[in-house]
Amino acid sequence: MDSQLQQLHFVMVPFLGPGHIIPMIDMAILLAQRNVIVTIRAIESGQQINLLQVQFPSLQVGLPKGLESIDELLSHKDFVAKFFSGIQMLQEPVEKVLAEARPRPSCILSDKHVFWTAKTAEKFGIPWIIFDGMSCFTQVCTELLLASKVHESVCGSESFVVPGLPDPIEFTRAQLPRFVDAGSESPSVVGLLKKIREIEIGAYGIVINSFEELEKDYVKEFKKMKNDRVWCVGPLSSRNRDRLDMAQRGNNASIVQSRCLEWLDIQEPGSVIYACLGSLSSLAREQLIELALGLEASGHPFVWVVRAGSKQEEIEKWIVEDGLEERVQGRGLLVRGWAPQVLILSHSAIGGFLTHCGWNSTIEGICAGVPLITWPLFSEQFFNEKLVVQIVGTGVSVGSKTVVQLGEEEKAGVNVKREDVERAIKCIMCQGEEGETRRRKAKEFGEKATKAVEEGGSSYFNVTLLIEDIMKQANYQMF
Ligand code: UDP
C-alpha cells in the first residue's frame, strides 16, 4: 500500500487570502503525513511537499505592486474584479509546471474560487476536487435555498424557514450570503458568483474542514446531494500541536508570543474573552468603538485584536483620547495587527471567543472547546452562527441582523451596540445552569474534535477514504 501511495501526487491550489491559505496548508501537511506527494503554491515545511512558485501579476492587472492576498486590499469593491483577473492569469504558468511534474499529478484539490483549475484537471484527465472552507450545514442550506428560491418572495427583515432541513432554521433575506442572494451586487460580481457556482457543480468531490460528530445530520444530507463524495477531514487547525506551529499560522504575529502567553498565564482559568473578527473585516470607526466599550463594560478580562484597516490610525487616536487602554490596564490586552489565534484559543485562561463566524475561526473555537459569542458579518457567516447557536448549542449571538459587505462597513454604520456585546458576554460567562451546560457542551465538542483527527477518528478515516478513492482513479487511468 505504501509504495502505491508514493505514486499519488495531489496538486493543491489555494485562493489568495489567509482564511483560504491557512487550512489549505494544514491539509497539505496532513496529506504529506499520509505519504502523499503534495504540490502547493508557496509554503515551507519539512514534509514531502513541493512548492510551486508563480508570480502574482499584481501590476499587470492594475493592483499595487506586491499585493497578492485579498486581506491586503484596502477597498474590496474596487479591486475584487482585478484580483480575480490576476488569479485567472496564473493558469498558464501553473499548467506549464504541472506538465513537467513527476510523478504525474493524480488530482487537483482547489479552492473553488480558483475555478480555472477545473479546466486544468480536465486537460490532465484527473479528478477536480474542491476544497471548500465552509461547513456541511452551509452547503446544505445553500443547495436548498438555491433550489427552492424561498427567500425570493420575502422582504429583507421578514424571516422564513429553510425548507427540507433536519432542524427548523430561520433566516431573513438580509442575512444571506451573496452566493445565495446576489442582492444589489454589481453585474460583474453577480457574473463571477454565477460562474463559480456553475463550475463547482461539476466537481468530482468536495473536502470539508469539519468533522462528522459536529454536524452529523448535515454531513449525511450533503453526502446524499453529492453522491457520497464528501470528505470531512477537520478540524484542520488541530494539526497544529506545538506552540511554534500554533503561533505561526498565517501572517506574522504582531505580538510577541511570550508576552501574550505571560499575560494569559496570570489570568484566572476560563475568565478571558478573546475578541477577533477575522482577517478581512474592518468595521466602521463607531462600530469598533461600540465593540471596545462593550468588552470593557462586560467586566471580564479580554484580548481584543484591533483590526481597523485603513482606519487604524483613527481608532488608535480614539483609544488614546478615550483612555480605554489605561482604564482596562491589566484586564484588557490590545493586539494590533495579526494575533496568534490558535495559540491564544488553546490557553486555559480563555473562557469565550467573540468571533465574526468565519468558518476557520468558528471551527478553531469549537476545537479549542470554548463557547462562542457570535457576530456574523459577511459571506456565509450567519449560517455558521445558526449552526453554533441553534444546532451545536455552544454559542450566544450578539444579535446582528444583517450582512455587512466587505468594503461597505462605513455605510453599515452601527449594527451592534455596546449593550449587545456586554449582554452576550455576560450570558456566555454566567455561572448559572445555562452557562454551565454551554461550557460542558463546548468542552465535549472540543474533545470530539481532537479525537476525530487522531488515528481511528472519523476525519482520519475520511482522509484514508479520500486517498483510496484518488488511488482508484489513478490506477484506473493507468490501465
Ligand atoms: N487569524 C489569525 N490571527 C488574526 C486574524 C485571523 O491567526 O489576527 C486566522 C484565524 O485563526 C483563521 C483565519 O485567520 O484561521 C481567518 O479565517 P476565517 O475563516 O475565520 O475568517 P476570514 O478572515 O476569512 O474572514
Q: Tell me the three state secondary structure of residue 268.
A: coil
d(CA 288, CA 375): 13
| Residue with CA closest to ligand 1 atom 10 | 361
Pocket test for ligand 1, best of 347, 355, 361 (most atoms within 8 A of CB): 361
Distance of CA 465 to the CA centre of its chain: 24
Tell me if 277 CB under 6 Å of ligand 1: no
Tell me if 22 CB under 6 Å of ligand 1: yes
In this predicted model, what pLDDT tens digit does every residue of 229-257 receive, in sequence order?
999 999 998 866 666 666 666 666 666 67
d(CA 20, CA 133): 7
- The whole-chain average pLDDT of the chain stands at 90
Instruction: Say what the pLDDT of residue 254 is.
Output: 66
Instruction: Say what the pLDDT of residue 82 is.
Output: 83
d(CA 196, CA 441): 37
Tell me if 250 CB under 6 Å of ligand 1: yes
Tell me if 305 CB under 6 Å of ligand 1: yes
| Residue with CA closest to ligand 1 atom 17 | 19
Q: State the pLDDT confidence band at 81, using cuts at 50, 70 and 90.
A: confident
Instruction: Say what the pLDDT of residue 138 is.
Output: 98
Tell me if 360 CB under 6 Å of ligand 1: yes
Tell me if 249 CB under 6 Å of ligand 1: yes
CA of 347 to the centre of ligand 1 (A): 17
Instruction: Say what the pLDDT of residue 120 is.
Output: 97
Instruction: Say what the pLDDT of residue 3 is.
Output: 47
| Closest ligand 1 atom to 278 CA | 23
Among the residues of 324-358, which ranges form H helices? 324-327, 341-345
**Which range, of 57-66, 207-216, 324-333, averages the lowest pLDDT?**
57-66
Instruction: Say what the pLDDT of residue 323 is.
Output: 96
CA of 281 to the centre of ligand 1 (A): 10
| Closest ligand 1 atom to 133 CA | 19
DSSP 90-158: THHHHHHHHHH-SSPP-EEEE-TTSTHHHHHHHHHT--EEEEE-S-HHHHHHHHHHHHH-GGGGS-TT-
> To the nearest whole percent, how much of the chain has pLDDT over 70?
91
Instruction: Say what the pLDDT of residue 75 is.
Output: 59
The residue-averaged pLDDT of 373-396 equals 97
The residue-averaged pLDDT of 454-471 equals 96
- Judged against a pLDDT cut of 50, whether residue 1 lies above it is answered with no
Tell me if 111 CB under 6 Å of ligand 1: no
Q: By the 8 A CB rule, do 451 and 457 touch?
A: yes
Pocket test for ligand 1, best of 21, 209, 341 (most atoms within 8 A of CB): 341
Is the peptide bond prior to 177 cis by the omega test (within 30 degrees of 0)?
A: no
d(CA 236, CA 234): 4
Helix (H) or strand (E) holding 172: strand 170-172
Please list, in sequence order, all residues whose beta carbon lies within 8 angstroms of the beta carbon of residue 459, skipping any fewer than 6 positions away. Answer: 211, 212, 232, 233, 234, 235, 452, 453
Q: Name the pTM for this structure.
A: 0.93
Name which residue leads in pLDDT, 13 or 247. Answer: 13
Instruction: Say what the pLDDT of residue 205 is.
Output: 97
- Judged against a pLDDT cut of 80, whether residue 2 lies above it is answered with no
Tell me if 279 CB under 6 Å of ligand 1: yes
The residue-averaged pLDDT of 291-299 equals 98
Whether 251-450 and 2-237+453-473 are alike in CATH topology: the answer is yes
- Judged against a pLDDT cut of 60, whether residue 317 lies above it is answered with yes
Q: What is the CATH number of domain 2-237+453-473?
A: 3.40.50.2000
| Closest ligand 1 atom to 357 CA | 20
Is the Cα dihedral 162, 359, 186, 309 positive or negative? positive
Q: State the pLDDT confidence band at 78, using cuts at 50, 70 and 90.
A: low
Domain definitions of the chain by residue range: 2-237+453-473, 251-450
251-450 carries CATH number 2.60.120.20: no
In this predicted model, what pLDDT tens digit does every residue of 29-77 receive, in sequence order?
889 888 888 887 544 555 567 777 778 888 888 888 888 787 776 556 6
- Judged against a pLDDT cut of 60, whether residue 442 lies above it is answered with yes
**Residue for cell digits 505592486?**
65
Instruction: Say what the pLDDT of residue 192 is.
Output: 87
CA of 341 to the centre of ligand 1 (A): 8
The Cβ-side half-sphere exposure at 266, using a 13 Å CA radius, reads: 9
The residue-averaged pLDDT of 392-418 equals 93
**Which range, of 1-5, 87-91, 125-129, 330-334, averages the lowest pLDDT?**
1-5
**Which range, of 51-55, 265-269, 365-369, averages the lowest pLDDT?**
51-55
